[in-house]
Structure formats: C-alpha cells, structure tokens
Chains A and B, each alone.
Chain A
Amino acid sequence: MALAELGLDLRRLPAPLAVWHARVDRAAWSAAPHSVADAGGRLVAVWGVDRRAAGDAMAACAAYALLEGLVWLELRLDAAEQEFPDLAATFPCAGRMQRAMADLSGLHAQGGHDVRAWLDHGLWSPGHAPLQSGAQPATDVAAGTLPAAYPFVRVEGDGVHEIAVGPVHAGIIEPAHFRFSLVGEKVLRLEERLGYTHKGIERRFTELPPLEAHQLAGRVSGDSTVAYAWAYCMALESAWRCEIPDRATWLRALILERERVANHLGDLGALGNDAALSFGLAQFSRLREDWLRLSKEAFGHRLMMDGVVPGGVATDLPQAMLDRMRKHCDKIEQEVRALKVIYDEHAGMQDRFLTTGLVTPQLAAQLGLTGLAGRASAQSADLRCDHDWPPYDRLGVKMATHRNGDVAARVTVRFEETFESLRLIRTICTDLPGGPTRADLQPQVAPSIGAGWVEGWRGEVLVALEIGADGRIVRCHCHDPSWQNWPVVEHAVIGNIVADFPLINKSFNLSYSGHDL
C-alpha cells in the first residue's frame, strides 16, 4: 500500500473519488516524490497559496495520483521563507509548474535548475506576484512594449539555423511561440514559449462568488468546458459536503462523453487534413457539426457550456431526447467505422502517421506523459477506469491503450475512445436513473477545501479549491494535463522534418489557454 508508506497523517476529503489531504513538514515534502515514484504514482500538479490576508502563511501544494486515489500535500512556509524543496528532480514535469508558481505566487523551488520566468513575460506590474495577497493593481505599460526577451537555448554548429514561429500562427489555433533549431529540414531541437494567453484566471476566481465561479472554470479551456466545470463543481460540492442526485451524476457523465466524442471527431478530421487527406477533414467535420447540433438541441449550447452547475446539471433530458441521442450514436458509429476503414487502408496517410512524432513508453514514463497521449505510449491511466466513482463504476469503461507512441497510435486511441464513449452514451441513455437533477447547495461560511478530479478528453483535469472563513474563494487552482504533455512534444519532434510539426502537434492537440491560465 503506497499510501500507508507515505507515513502521513492523511485526512480523506468528502469527494466522489478518493482524495486525501495532509499538512507536511519539509522532510516529508522532500520524501514524498520518491515514495510516490517507487509506488508507480505520478505527480499531477504543483501550486502555491497565500493565506497571509487571513493571518496565516504562504504554502506550497502538490497533488500526487496513486492507485488508491489523489494525495494533496501542503507545506506551510514561514514568513521569511519563500522557497520549498524542488520536486523536478524526481518528476521532471514539475519544472514548468514550479516556474509558473514563482511567477504567480512568488514561491521558488530550492535548487530548481531552470529559473527562467515562464508565464510572466515581463509586462505585469513589477514587485508583487499576482496571486500574493496585496498584489498591486496593474499599471499600464506603454503601447509598443514587447514581452521581455526570453533566453532560448541556442543550438550551434555547421548549417544549424532557426525558425521562429508565432505567437500569431498561420492557422486558426491558439497563440504560442515555437523556436526550431534545424539542419536542413531535420529538427534538432524545439523550444516552446507559452504564456501568451495568460488572462489572470486564478486571480479572477478570488473575485467571484463560489456559486458563480463554475462559469469561469468552464472557460479555462473552451474545448474542455465540461471537464473543467465538472471538476470545479465537484471541488465545491466536496468543500461544502454536498451530495448530488444520481441522475445529475449520470447526466454529467453523458455530457462529458459527448465532449470527448466532439473533440475526437474534430481531431480525427484535422489529423487527416494535416496528412494531406482533406477528404478526412470534410467528412469528420460534417459529423462533428451533426454532433454539436444535437448538443445544442439537447442542452441549449453547442459546446454544452454551463451545462454542469453547482449541485447538478442545468438541463434534464426528456425520454424522447434520450432515444434520439441513442439512435444518433448508432448512426455516428456506423459512419466513423466506415471512415476508419478508409484511414486504415490509405497508404499515403499511414505513411505520414507511422513512426512520426514518436514517444516511446520509456520516455513517456520518464517525463510523465498523461491522458490520451500517454495512453498511446503505454501509460495506462484513466480516472474513469482506475477509481470507483459514480457513474463510471457502473459503466465498466474499457481503457484504450497502444504501445507504439507515434501519431498513428494517437489516432488509433482516438478512434477506440470514440467507439467506447458512444457505447457509454447509449448505456447512460438506457439506464439513466430517475429523480432530481440538481441538489440545493448550501453556502458554508467557514474555511474549507475541496478537490475535483475528472478525466477530460485530453487527460485528467484537477481543480483544487480553498474557501476562506468569509465564504469567499481564497484560491482555486486549475490544472490541465497539457502541463505534463507540452514538454514531451519538444522530444516527440526531434529528428522529424519540420513540415511534420503541425501533424505531430495536432496529434497531441494540447491546450494553450488551459496551460497559460
């Protein structure tokens, strides 16, 4: 039992998934990553919290996933202390999260080897980190001020040249800067520069009433609005000890699976297009449009934004709609199966997919590749299968995994997950329990914490919520699986030709907004 080996005084939070919380000292904080790694666990997120406004101190937090559930550790930092022991030596994915923590909360990893600013591009008010209490209101920077120069790692040698891409990209995608070092067409190194869409979401949370902040959570990353809204609501319900009705839980799963299918349909089309089969884009984008139109009819919104609300769901579905949805799943499945045959048998497309953007299972394990991309590199983790929580404990979700770790594997996992989600939706439509769809959530005017942990289409989304004595949000940390996966993309493109980058990047389809916050 890995959990017992941690030797900590863990307190179980009231949440649908097993979540434990513990306050630890420096020794236990430093020992935890080794115990977790030895037990086959993974680091989910690292963040900082400032409670000085309430007469308390600052603290560093880390969330680990173990077989038994999520472990949320908290290290209190004394007044003068702004440093905490580094976690990146054991879990490399902590590196960027710790850099973001330094930018946002002013807490630094002791002995962290990369101390470059990450989310802060040098345009915010100097002096105070934005998530520290008493942070100054923004002062306007002069028009024409460019972000601070970023010390990219330079690759030198005969014939090495650089290509700088972004932040404004050539397609309809989110902004970021990619710096390629190449010889001829071959990529020697890619370095990502993210943070362009940083909107100050985590500070904005503290300005919103807890019962309204699910709307902000639903706009952390537009393609994962359901996953974030559910995770936020789960965290709030956990903090306020509220249990939601069965029917609401099942409907949440229904719309989460609809979100997964919508994204997979979009990606499968876009991946065809990036491999020069525009036929694939036309066909899959047609199916995605059919899918979104039914979502609009059922839930009043094509992306189902604000469909998950504190206490349950915003919309109930009548039997006639459930029947239609089930039949629609049959139709979509038939179409996707026909297109899968075409993709599988298209030699030109498979030639582009196979061995491109390779992440071996070994590298994936080392770097903590997670979610859909992780499963395509033999990292078998899926919250819907790994933990018993309603309604997935009743649905018997079959995990899709693959060993090859290339673009083709990520395409295959998408196909398989689409079929499985269609099955889940049909089952939910048939077995949906009766009863109310929303519980009354009673605001608690007392300090409390809660966690929401949901398997979104891209991977696990975590929301860690802390409510203060006045009933307002002290801290709401949102974690996107893209934090783990962005650094792996840098490895996946090494040795590929630069023209394959869009294809490789799309095969991961990571979030910029969800990462930049």
Chain B
Amino acid sequence: MWHVIHQIVRIGIVTEPAPRVTDADGAAIERIHQDILDILGQALTIREVDAGSCNGCELEISALSNPYYNIEGLGIKFVASPRHADMLLVTGPVSRHMEEALRRTYDATPAPKLVVAVGDCGCTGGIFGEGYATRGKVANVIPVDAVVPGCPPPPLEILRGILGAVRRRQGHPTPDRT
C-alpha cells in the first residue's frame, strides 16, 4: 500500500486542460461543460459501439480515459448500456453483420440520442468502402449528428467532436436529421 501511495504522490496530477472547441463562437471548455449541464441536466453518458472497425479508433477512444485527458473529470462517462446513454460514439465501417445490432442499439437509446461517427471509416467508409460485407459510413445506417475524421483521430479530436455535437444540439432539440 505504501508503494501505491508513494507512486500516486510522486506522479501528482497530470491532467491537461481540455481543448477549446473550434466552434463558430469558439466556446471554451467551461462553457461546454455548462452546456452539457444545461442541455442534459446531468453528466453526459456515452455508449461506444464498434460497428466493424479495425480497433484503431477504440484504442484512441480508450485513451480518453487516461489521466491526461481525464474525460470523467469533464462529467463524461462511458456506460455499459445504450439505455443509459445520451450519446452513441460509433466507429465503422458498419459491417453487414453489425448493421442490425447498431440499429437496435440506436433504437434502445433514449432522447436526446446524439450520434457521433468516429474515424474515417465511420465518416465515409474509409479504405474499406462499401461492399458485400460492409455498408460503409455510419450515416448509411443511423442518423449522425457529428463526424470526427482521422485514421484514427487522436483523443483530443474525438473529445472535440463529442463536445461539438452537444453544443450543436443546443437550441435544436429536434434537428433535421438525414
């Protein structure tokens, strides 16, 4: 136990400030955090769905929980069920074998049902494209609020995408969804 405490004290707190969202008005993180509270009246809960990715995006999404990004410190939490989630963070390309599972996960998610597609494959189908086994981008299967391109996008970009999606929804509780 002494070793554990010693290590914790020695390393200290390494968490870095969250990114500024390069939104229209460039709102700072504090503002975004307030937005999350205003819009959702609580912390933001996210269900991550791998709909066929190569696992690269999952590695970077997992990195959001490390002490540098400390996503839980921002009031954002990954949850185990879509029924507990405000947002789905979906990676792709959507394989045909995951298509219906993704749709059902979306159906099980309560309002506000935000969806962020992460990674080039989730945004466009990426190098895999559409074929006998893939449906390509996430938007081909469920409505998408925001996309985070990159292969894979670094954690900071994913965080920006998450915060941006929340922000964009403010004042547009039922946006036009395509």
Residues A174 and B56 in contact in the complex (CB < 8 Å), given A168-B105, A286-B66, A302-B154: no
Interface residues on B, range: 35 or more
- Contact indicator A223/B66 (Cβ below 8 Å): no
Residues A147 and B100 in contact in the complex (CB < 8 Å), given A285-B66, A302-B154, A305-B151: yes
Q: Which residues on the A side are within 8 Å of B152 (C-beta)? A: 222, 303
Q: Which residues on the A side are within 8 Å of B24 (C-beta)? A: none
Verify if A258 is at the interface (C-beta below 8 Å from B): no
22 contacts across the A-B interface (CB closer than 8 A): A121-B96, A123-B96, A137-B132, A145-B100, A167-B97, A170-B80, A170-B81, A172-B48, A173-B58, A198-B96, A200-B134, A201-B128, A203-B131, A216-B128, A219-B151, A220-B54, A222-B152, A223-B56, A279-B4, A282-B67, A296-B154, A513-B53
Verify if A327 is at the interface (C-beta below 8 Å from B): no
**Considering the chains assembled together, what is the distance between the CA atoms of A170 and B102 in angstroms?**
14
- From A196, A220, A339, A341, give the contact of B97 (CB < 8 A): A196
- From B3, B80, B133, give the contact of A341 (CB < 8 A): B3
- From B14, B62, B128, give the contact of A286 (CB < 8 A): B14
Q: Which residues on the A side are within 8 Å of B52 (C-beta)? A: 175, 196-199, 513
Q: Which residues on the B side are within 8 Å of A7 (C-beta)? A: none
| Chain A nearest Cβ from B129, distance in angstroms | 7
Residue of A at shortest CB range from B56? A222
Q: Which residues on the B side are within 8 Å of A225 (C-beta)? A: 54, 56
- From B8, B53, B60, give the contact of A197 (CB < 8 A): B53
What are the interface flags for B4-41 relative to A under an 8 Å C-beta threshold, 1 for contact and 0 otherwise? 10011001001000000000000000000000000000
- Contact indicator B59/A123 (Cβ below 8 Å): no
Q: Which residues on the A side are within 8 Å of B3 (C-beta)? A: 338, 341-342, 345
**Considering the chains assembled together, what is the distance between the CA atoms of A137 and B60 in angstroms?**
34
- Contact indicator A286/B131 (Cβ below 8 Å): no
Hey, which bits of chain B sit against chain A, CB under 8 A? Answer: 3-4, 7-8, 11, 14, 48-63, 65-68, 78, 80-82, 93, 95-103, 105, 126-129, 131-134, 151-152, 154
- From B49, B51, B53, B129, give the contact of A204 (CB < 8 A): B129
- Contact indicator B97/A285 (Cβ below 8 Å): no
- Contact indicator A124/B96 (Cβ below 8 Å): yes
Verify if A125 is at the interface (C-beta below 8 Å from B): yes
Verify if A221 is at the interface (C-beta below 8 Å from B): yes
**Considering the chains assembled together, what is the distance between the CA atoms of A174 and B57 in angstroms?**
10
- From A124, A221, A305, give the contact of B133 (CB < 8 A): A124
Within A221-275, which residues are at the interface with B (CB < 8 Å)?
A: 221-223, 225, 266
Q: Which residues on the A side are within 8 Å of B131 (C-beta)? A: 138, 199-200, 203-204
- Contact indicator B81/A146 (Cβ below 8 Å): no
Q: What are the 10 tightest A-B residue pairs by CB atom distance, in nearest-first order?
A: A222-B56, A200-B133, A170-B80, A285-B66, A138-B132, A222-B55, A222-B54, A219-B54, A196-B97, A200-B131
| Chain A nearest Cβ from B4, distance in angstroms | 6
Verify if A512 is at the interface (C-beta below 8 Å from B): yes
Verify if A141 is at the interface (C-beta below 8 Å from B): yes
Verify if A283 is at the interface (C-beta below 8 Å from B): yes
Residue of B at shortest CB range from A224? B55
- Contact indicator B61/A172 (Cβ below 8 Å): yes
Hey, which bits of chain A sit against chain B, CB under 8 A? Answer: 121, 123-125, 130, 135, 137-138, 141, 143-147, 167-168, 170-175, 195-201, 203-204, 215-216, 219-223, 225, 266, 279, 281-283, 285-286, 288-289, 292, 296, 302-303, 305, 338-339, 341-342, 345-346, 511-513, 516
Q: Which residues on the B side are within 8 Å of A198 (C-beta)? A: 52, 95-97, 133
- Contact indicator B62/A172 (Cβ below 8 Å): yes
- From A145, A296, A305, A345, give the contact of B56 (CB < 8 A): A305
- From A124, A141, A342, A512, give the contact of B7 (CB < 8 A): A342
Residues A199 and B56 in contact in the complex (CB < 8 Å), given A124-B132, A130-B132, A342-B4: no
- From A168, A195, A201, A345, give the contact of B101 (CB < 8 A): A168
| Chain B nearest Cβ from A105, distance in angstroms | 14
Q: Which residues on the A side are within 8 Å of B93 (C-beta)? A: 199
Residue of B at shortest CB range from A216? B127
- Contact indicator A215/B127 (Cβ below 8 Å): yes
Q: Which residues on the B side are within 8 Å of A345 (C-beta)? A: 3
- Contact indicator A285/B4 (Cβ below 8 Å): no
- Contact indicator A200/B7 (Cβ below 8 Å): no
Residue of A at shortest CB range from B52? A197
| Chain A nearest Cβ from B2, distance in angstroms | 10
Residue of A at shortest CB range from B48? A172
**Considering the chains assembled together, what is the distance between the CA atoms of A303 and B80 in angstroms?**
27
Q: Which residues on the A side are within 8 Å of B68 (C-beta)? A: 286, 289
Q: A204-B129, A266-B59 are in contact. List 5 more A-B contacts (CB 8 A).
A: A146-B100, A174-B53, A219-B54, A223-B55, A285-B63
| Chain A nearest Cβ from B63, distance in angstroms | 6
- Contact indicator B54/A288 (Cβ below 8 Å): no
